[in-house]
Amino acid sequence: MISDTLHEHEKKVLIALKTGELSQEELSKKTGLQGDSIAHACLWLESKGLVKTTEERKELFKLGSEGKSYLKEGLPERQVLSEFKKGRKTIGELEKALGKEKTKIGVSWLARQKLAKIKSGKIELTADGLKMLKGETKHERVLNMFKEHDSIQHIQGIEELLKRGKLIKKVDTVKRRVALTEKGKALVGKGIKIEDTVNLLTSRMIKSGDWKKVKLRPYDVTAPVPATKLGKRQPYLALLEEARQYLIAMGFIELRTPLIETEFWNFDTLYQPQFHPARTRRDTYYIKKPNKGEIPEAYTKIIKETHENGWKTGSTGWKYHWDPEKAKNLILRTHTTVSSVRAMNGNKKTPAKYFTISRNFRRDVIDATHLPEFFQCEGIIIQENMNFRELLGVLKEFAKKFAGTEKISFRPSYFPYTEPSVELVAEHPKLGPIELGGAGMFRPEVRLPAGVESEVMAWGLGFDRLCMIKLGIKDIRDLFSKDLNWLEKTPVVID
Amino acid sequence: MPKIAVNLEDINQLTGKDLTIREFEKISPNIKCEWIGAHDGEIELEVTHDRPDLLSSEGIARALRQYFGLQKGLQKLEFKKSGLHCTVDKSVLQVRPHSRMFVVYGVKLTDATVQQLMQLQEKIHASYTLNRKNASIGVYDLDTLKFPLTYKSVKDIRFIPLGENREMSAKEILEKTEKGRAYAKLIEPAKYPIIVDSKGTVLSMPPIINSEDTRVTPSTSNLFVDVSGEDQLAVEKTVTLMAVALSERGEVRTVSMDYPDRSIESPMLKKQEISTSAGFVNARLGLRLSENDIKELLEKAGFGVSLDRGRITAEVPCYRFDIMHEIDLTEEVAMAYGYDKLEPVFPEIFTIGKADEIETLSNKTREIMIGMGFQEVLTYILEGSNLFDAFNIKAVKLDNPVSDEHDCIRSSLVPGLIELLSNNKHYPLPHKIFEVGDIVTQGDSPLMERRVAAVISDTEAGFTLIKSVAEAVMKNLNSGYSITEYAGSPFITGRAAAIESNKKRIGVFGEVHPSVLNHLDIEHPVVTMELNLEAIKK
């Protein structure tokens, strides 16, 4: 029942209103509650549709600082009249009694109201002026109203007083009047009981058993409460973690390889020739100090031959002079494909599957679509006699899982380390084609020097675009958001 | 990947087709071109890096003719001799030793052809010649030249460079012209390679700039082309690409390159054969094609194919430099067959998955931090050395950063986290954030290390608070530790401590020095902790 959920203050207000509309001040007097409590109770009751408040805006007048003293001493012109009565008729005599300033103001007001004239330093009262020796001036009539009221409403002649500086001031006030609505009347009609209700259940009540003696007030469960702050995972990382769990569940072994690599591991082992434009200072970050790293001797010999003449891979090779010094340059890895080559070098068994989701670096200028560092989901499957159609089968499965679509297309593509190569494109119902990543079968020039006779399928998926869509982000920089408010507002469950 | 622009009308003229923009867009992925966009008949494409022969409309048109079956098998490319000579002087052999030239007769230069010619030069330069070092191309009006020519190296030379209105010395050209400044580092002073004709007219100073005297104009109908460079293979590939492209526009004829010890007719188109078998191709693609099917498909891709007792031998077109192994032929077969016709098959391969240990530990650490109410954030590994200087922390620097804001590799997670707080001044306190991520240690042999760092900013955040957090982390990671005094950046001395395990420092925590906070314009106290998770790994 609605009356059960009412706060004690609300109940008191309702009962007070039973006899009719009241102002909040009157309510305060009648219920004995403070102004704030009344205001809150009225607000709650209004939101429940039990009372309605009407606002009355009024122009009121109050005494100013001068007005207060004049109310006691009389206006300057009255003081002059009083002295006149006592026989002081010259300006000199008046100034002696009242001071220069007050005399000046008083005399000038008498003149302005046509109550007196000044003739050769002497005051002469007019007929009206003489009447005023006993009577009340217009100004005095207004001023005297404040003897009984703190504030008065607009009355005739008040404008003139307003012009007299700090005598009186105008204040705008709002008066709230509260009345029961039909719903409120019905509720009050049924009767409202004020019991000894308790808001907060305290430890003391529980221990002492006092809770048995009181009634715990039911709450309005729909009332708003302050938000709870919580710590949670970074939304982008949380999405990447889902992908990671999925790959582990699919039987992939997770890899972790260095961020700083030699060109050897990053490019040469992947059959990317030393004259390839990606291997320049324009595309790849080089390390200042130290700038050279170690490269494995035996593997280096094989890689040199592979590049120059194909070694035992059946390839013609790139037919150029391979320089071990260039291979030693330290760089920030440009792709996680290097993790896969490292995995192949350590791999002992077939079949085998490896993956990693980690960061890579390319020399891009940062803008809404480019970041100098980005996450890539990289993986390989090593299996004898695996074919290209099986790679397409794996990619199709990934598209289903990661992009939630079976509408995909495969496009010819090129990577120096795979052949055949393919690009996976998913059709987004609204945004059109989305490139999910590149893939291919590792070239013999890559897997044979790494000691793998079996076929190897390799893929690198970029989740940035998909995550941006899921998180409703337009600017890629927001994946690394610095905005705590956004991090807080983004829900844990993202679909 | 290089981007190029081609004109639809030009393409249609070269193919003899009447393609619309839409039709072209649909076909483009099949000829290894990524569609970027089109307006007013100008089409923008991205070409894969293995196919420099597709860098102009001549090559694109050839690929389209093959796609439509208008051109099958190996294209006959035989160039007649022009009878023209160029002497390669021994002075240039130490400077820029390799040179190849040819001429083209009867070229009709339209806006589209000039644009394609310039684009082809520019794209080859940018992507395949190490920016003109290994090879550079020059194109001239043949009718302004008097043969024989000489390619030599000189101490100095004066001529009017292309686009200038006065004669300049070699030194002036290198200092005052835009191209001169861009490529000056490719040649040595007083060893300037030049091509001159028999009247003494300078054609160019490769690889810097051509002369105004030999400029190609709209009325030019016969072209002379030279390619010179430091790398023979690059020079030969480049001259082949240029000659094959221009053979679509006019009649290409060879020039005799007279070296001190030998003469070469240029360009010499190299013949290359690669053989494979139906067994290999089918095993790689998961198809059951007959030898004849494969022959047909390779011919469609522009290869000359012969079958002999189970061997499929393909003669590779001279403009294709990406065919090195039978696996490359296999891809050609797959593309001609159509990727869209290849049915995907999911391979059921049983293996046991395994998470990396440090990733597992990272996730457990995240659980602890989130349990304490910290919000996870993600910051960049590439940070600004200005920021690290403000913290007085050393970090490995990049040799070629793009901007000051990302010119070093973080050696601590803390600066990035505290900087993040300065972006959240209006967010209500307390600020409690953490990150688990990789750093790279600074030193002679930089090492990647997984760390966790946490930061709290609040009106009264102090040492006690962060010590309590650090201890909660250590206890829940179930790792033995001791706390000792620590003095170092970015902490207030006397208000920082080290976490030690087996007498090694594995983490630090404490109150951040107000000078750092002032620098970052942060108005509330900040405490932080950082821990090396690799040291916790069991």
Give chain A's domains with CATH numbers.
Answer: 2-56+173-205 (1.10.10.10), 63-170 (1.10.10), 237-489 (3.30.930.10)
The predicted model scores a pTM of: 0.80
Cα gap A57→A74, rounded to integer Å:
32
Q: Which residues in chain B are closer than 8 Å to A289, comparing Cβ atoms?
A: 396-397
Subunit contact B398:A441, Cβ cutoff 8 A? no
Which residues pair with residue B530 across a beta bridge? B453, B508
pLDDT score of A240: 96
What residue in A sits closest to B346 (Cα-Cα)?
A393
Cα gap A51→A43, rounded to integer Å:
9
Name the residue with higher pLDDT: A94 or A395.
A395
Mean pLDDT of A266-291: 94
CATH assignment of B272-341? Answer: 3.30.56.10
Subunit contact A260:B396, Cβ cutoff 8 A? yes
Query: Do B272-341 and B3-67 fall under one CATH topology?
Result: yes
CATH number of B357-535, picked from 3.40.50.800, 3.20.20.70, 3.50.50.60, 3.30.930.10:
3.30.930.10
Q: Are B240 and B233 spatial neighbours (Cβ–Cβ below 8 Å)?
A: no
Mean pLDDT of B179-207: 94
Burial of A481 from C-beta contacts in 10 A (0-12 / 13-18 / 19+)? buried
Subunit contact B352:A251, Cβ cutoff 8 A? yes
Q: B434: helix, coil or strand?
A: strand
pLDDT score of A196: 67
Among the partner-chain residues B131, B356, B369, the one whose CB lies closest to the CB of A254 is B356
A441 touches chain B (CB under 8 A): yes
Subunit contact A259:B409, Cβ cutoff 8 A? yes
Least confident segment among A208-217, A448-457, B86-95, B524-533: A208-217
Among the partner-chain residues B233, B347, B406, the one whose CB lies closest to the CB of A390 is B347
Q: Which residues in chain B are closer than 8 Å to A320, comparing Cβ atoms?
A: 231, 233
pLDDT in tens, B128-148: 888 899 999 999 999 999 999
Among the partner-chain residues A252, A315, A359, the one whose CB lies closest to the CB of B381 is A359
Subunit contact A248:B355, Cβ cutoff 8 A? yes
Residue A1 has pLDDT above 70, yes or no: no
Subunit contact B354:A248, Cβ cutoff 8 A? yes
Q: What is the ipTM of this complex?
A: 0.92
What residue in A sits closest to B357 (Cα-Cα)?
A254
Subunit contact A482:B326, Cβ cutoff 8 A? no
The pLDDT mean for chain A works out to 90
Domain ranges of chain B: 3-67, 80-266, 272-341, 357-535
- Residue pairs between chains A and B whose CB atoms are closer than 8 Å: 263
State the smallest CA–CA distance between residue A201 and chain B in angstroms: 27
pLDDT in tens, B46-66: 999 899 999 999 999 999 999
pLDDT score of B519: 93
pLDDT score of B427: 92
CATH assignment of B3-67? Answer: 3.30.56.10
CATH assignment of B80-266? Answer: 3.50.40.10
Residue A197 has pLDDT above 80, yes or no: no
Question: In chain B, pLDDT over 70 holds for what percent of residues?
Answer: 100
Residue A194 has pLDDT above 80, yes or no: no
Among the partner-chain residues B130, B335, B371, the one whose CB lies closest to the CB of A412 is B335
pLDDT in tens, A343-364: 999 898 999 999 999 999 999 8
pLDDT in tens, B248-257: 999 999 999 9
Instruction: Please give the backbone phi and psi of residue B285, each rounded to the nearest 5 degrees, phi first.
Output: -100, -15
Which residues pair with residue B137 across a beta bridge? B227
Nearest alpha carbon to residue B405 among B423, B424, B382, B421: B382
